[in-house]
Amino acid sequence: MLILFIEENAQDYLKYRQLLDDQADKFNMDWAPNYEVALNKIENNAYDIYLVGYYETKVQQQNFLVWLYTHVNKPTILLTKHSEQVNIELMEKYLSYSLGKEQLSWEQLNRAIRYHARLLTLQKNEDKFQSIFENALAFIGIISLEGIVQEFNKTALTLFDIQKSPTTGIILWDMVWVKNSQTELKAAFAEAKKGKITHSQVALQKSNGQVVTLDLSLTRHKDVILLEGHDISGSHALEQQLAQTNLHDQLTELPNRHLFMEYLEKAIVHTQSHKNSNLAVLVISLEKFKSINATLGHDMGDWLMMEITQRLQGCLQKKELLARAREDEFLILQHDMQDFSEATTLATIIINTLEYPFSLTNYEFVISCHIGIAYYRDQNEETDLLRDADAAMYHAKSKGNSYAVFRPSMYETVISRLQMETDVLRATKEKNNNFVLFYQPTIELSTEQLVGMESMIHFQHPQHGVISQLEFMPVLEETGFIISIGEWNLRTACHQLFSWLETALFVHHVSVNLSTRHFQNKNLIKTVIESIEQNGLKPDCLELMINESLLLEHGDMALKTLKHFKDVGINITINDFGMGYASLNCLRHFPADCLKINSSIINGIISSPEDSAITVATIDMAHALGLTVIAEGVETLEQRDFLREQGCDFAQGYFYAAPMKNMEAQTWAKQYTSTDT
Number of helices (H) and strands (E) in the chain: give both, helices first.
25, 26
Is the separation of the CB atoms in 438 and 456 below 8 Å? yes
Residues carrying CATH 3.30.450.20, the chain: 138-235
pLDDT tens digits along 387-437:
899 989 988 887 777 899 998 888 776 676 677 677 777 766 665 567 889
pLDDT tens digits along 176-225:
677 777 888 888 889 888 888 888 777 777 777 777 788 888 898 888 99
The pLDDT of residue 449: 93
The pLDDT of residue 581: 46
372: enclosing H helix or E strand? strand 369-375
The pLDDT of residue 19: 78
pLDDT tens digits along 21-50:
777 666 788 899 888 899 999 988 888 888
Give one DSSP letter per residue of 303-352, joined into a string: HHHHHHHHHHHHH--TTEEEEEEETTEEEEEEEEES-THHHHHHHHHHHH
The pLDDT of residue 249: 85
Rounded to whole angstroms, the Cα distance separating 664 from 652 reads 17
Tell me which residue of 537, 589, 594, 550 sits closest to 571, measured CA to CA: 594
Residue 291 has pLDDT above 50, yes or no: yes
Q: Which pTM does this prediction carry?
A: 0.51
Select the CATH number that applies to the domain covering 429-672 from these four: 3.90.870.40, 3.40.50.300, 3.20.20.70, 3.20.20.450. 3.20.20.450
Phi, psi of 456 (to 5 degrees): -130, 125
Residues carrying CATH 3.30.70.270, the chain: 250-408
Mean predicted confidence (pLDDT) in 307-331: 92
pLDDT tens digits along 88-121:
666 665 556 677 777 777 777 677 667 665 655 6
Mean predicted confidence (pLDDT) in 298-311: 88
With cut-offs at 50, 70 and 90, classify the pLDDT of residue 677.
very low
Is the separation of the CB atoms in 32 and 5 below 8 Å? yes
Residue 244 has pLDDT above 50, yes or no: no
**Mean pLDDT over the full length of the chain:** 82
Residues carrying CATH 3.20.20.450, the chain: 429-672
Tell me which residue of 593, 642, 589 sits closest to 615, measured CA to CA: 642
pLDDT tens digits along 533-548:
999 999 999 999 987 6
The domain covering 138-235 belongs, at the CATH homologous superfamily level, to PAS domain (3.30.450.20)
Residues carrying CATH 3.40.50.2300, the chain: 2-132
Dihedral, 312, 317, 144, 164 alpha carbons, nearest 10: -160
The pLDDT of residue 96: 66
The pLDDT of residue 458: 86
Tell me the CATH number for domain 2-132.
Answer: 3.40.50.2300
Mean predicted confidence (pLDDT) in 307-325: 92
The pLDDT of residue 511: 95
102: DSSP letter: G
With cut-offs at 50, 70 and 90, classify the pLDDT of residue 13.
confident
Please report, for residues 467, 469, 630, the alpha-carbon distance to residue 461 in angstroms, rounded to integers and kept in the order given: 7, 12, 31
Tell me the CATH number for domain 250-408.
Answer: 3.30.70.270
List b or e across 339-358, with b for residues whose CB sees 16 or more CB atoms inside 10 angstroms.
ebebbbebbeebbebbbbbb
Is the separation of the CB atoms in 374 and 394 below 8 Å? no
